[in-house]
Homo-oligomer: A and B are copies of this chain.
Amino acid sequence: MGPEEFRAAGHELIDWIADYRVRIPQLPVQAQVGPGEVAGKLPGRAPEEAEPLSRVLDDLEGVVVPGVTQVQHPRYFGWFPSNACLSSVLGDLAASGLGALGITWQSAPALTEVEEVVVDWLRELTGLPQSWKGVIQDTASSACLVALLAARERATNFSKTRGGMQAESAPLTVYTTQHAHSSVAKAVALAGYGQDNLHLVDVDPVTYAMRPGALASALEADLAAGCRPAAVVATVGTTGTTAVDPVAQIVPLAREYGMWVHVDAAMAGSALLLPEMRWLADGVEGADSLAWNPHKWLGTVLDCSLLYVADPGHLIRVMSTSPSYLRSAVDGEVTQYKDWGIPLGRRFRALKLWFHLRLDGVEAIRARLRRDLDNARWLADRVSSASGWRVLAPVSLQTVVLRHEPAGLDADGLDAHTLAWVDTVNASGAALVTPSLLDGRWSVRVSIGAERTERSDVEELWRLLQQAAAEAG
């Protein structure tokens, strides 16, 4: 496709996207297709001849749109917000259009330096230490793996340069809570620590936050048993209830044993743009790394996760390679982001952050975040004061975990009731919330923060929840 054909097709697609965004509120939130339904509508082989754009747009419209859950919908309250702000969509388009190749600084100096600048803008906006340096990763899962690899290499004094993990006799242990994201256990497994060496530290029964005293006891017991504590992953804003592990109390304990502290603030990182929410990250200046996802609540289109580290030199030693075909005269003077993560080739992801912040402006973003926090408090108040309803965890952020608890149900009956009314809400397409286990029982997470969600949408959701629960008996 040549530039002029692209120009015409591009205008058509931009219009399609603008129209699509306008009509999202009329679409069902949850995709209404069954397994295999989308695949069944597609041909089994790639086309030999070029097809016209109109045919592709017809399929986008007729096959793809009904096949995706509309996370940009104003009544999407599922998982966590996954906003794709249109300003950031433009930045991503600019990146694709440029088609730059990020393998070394030399291959695209601006790809590296815009990233350095924009990531530092966000460091300053979130109040992270001035000396920290950051890099864009695809997701917080990858960032957590990178952090645990860095921790492993620090604990083993670079076993990767010798016989690897097999040569290490004392088990390296990692600490987190049962409320940590599933990516922590995955990173522990992939980094070679082994699941037996992931210790789930007790949480406070009300706040669901890690208990520092329990961490201290676990560390003592493990040291006595000959283990080598390597890392703590503290979560600021857990997936289940947005619980906040007390980083300020975890850091001194970890320091005592030379452990790496990684802070997973995937969701809560956006909140740090608000000075009044900085308490979430109290003590973070003593940690070794922190990751958060602009591709969640902030709204920079997927995939865009930020990983900050206190000691970039260590990370680079863990991740670096320097084959001759990638060497250049300026190697010592520039940042080589290939040595800050797993992939070599990188997209110009910084452009979507750059466009997003510049075209929307930080003040407007902060106002939207405050709107959502306010909506969450409003909903929590309604739920708390409604008969038969309960808010199950502190509302520290924009997620409300709730349950309808009618009298006369035993625990299993309550689980069945919860799953039944949640299914009614989700299947209706009118709104989407997520069922989630808390203390072994089903609860419902209402995660507020889709870009288009206004108070009226939360009011409507509350009406839908009450109606579905009442109908479920």
Contacts and interface: CB of A to CB of B under 8 A. Distances in A.
8 cross-chain pairs, A with B, having the tightest CB-CB distances, nearest first: A164-B194, A84-B99, A67-B110, A165-B165, A192-B192, A17-B97, A10-B14, A50-B361
A177 B367 CA distance: 56
Interface in A146-198: 149, 152, 159-172, 181-183, 185-186, 189-197
B194 A108 contact: no
A270 interface: no
Contacts of A39: 113-114, 116-117
Interface stretch (A211-219, A250-258, A326-334): A326-334
A295 interface: yes
Interface in A306-345: 319, 321-326, 330, 333-334, 342-345
A171 B160 contact: no
Contact of A64 (B11, B98, B152, B181): B98
Interface stretch (A55-63, A275-283, A374-382, A460-468): A55-63
12 contacts: A42-B114, A51-B358, A71-B99, A71-B107, A79-B101, A99-B302, A160-B192, A162-B195, A162-B196, A165-B192, A324-B436, A325-B437
Contacts of A359: 1, 9, 50-51, 53, 56
Interface in A263-309: 293, 295, 301-303
A433 to B, nearest CB: 11
Contacts of A362: 46-48
Contact of A364 (B50, B326, B354): B50
Contacts of A410: none
A96 interface: yes
Contacts of A344: 139, 141, 182-183
B83 A99 contact: yes
Nearest to A299: B99
A453 interface: no
A71 to B, nearest CB: 5
Contacts of A45: 121, 124
A71 B346 CA distance: 13
Nearest to A227: B166
Interface string A202-216: 000000000000000
Nearest to A358: B51
Contacts of A322: 182
B82 A99 contact: yes
A86 interface: yes
A111 interface: yes
A35 interface: yes
A413 interface: no
Given A240-B325, A358-B50, A93 B10 contact: yes
Interface centre among A2, A39, A152, A172 (most CB of B within 10 A): A39
Nearest to A55: B358
A13 interface: yes
Nearest to A339: B186
A103 to B, nearest CB: 7
Nearest to A108: B68
Contacts of A364: 50
Interface in A24-61: 31, 33-39, 42, 44-51, 53, 55-56, 60
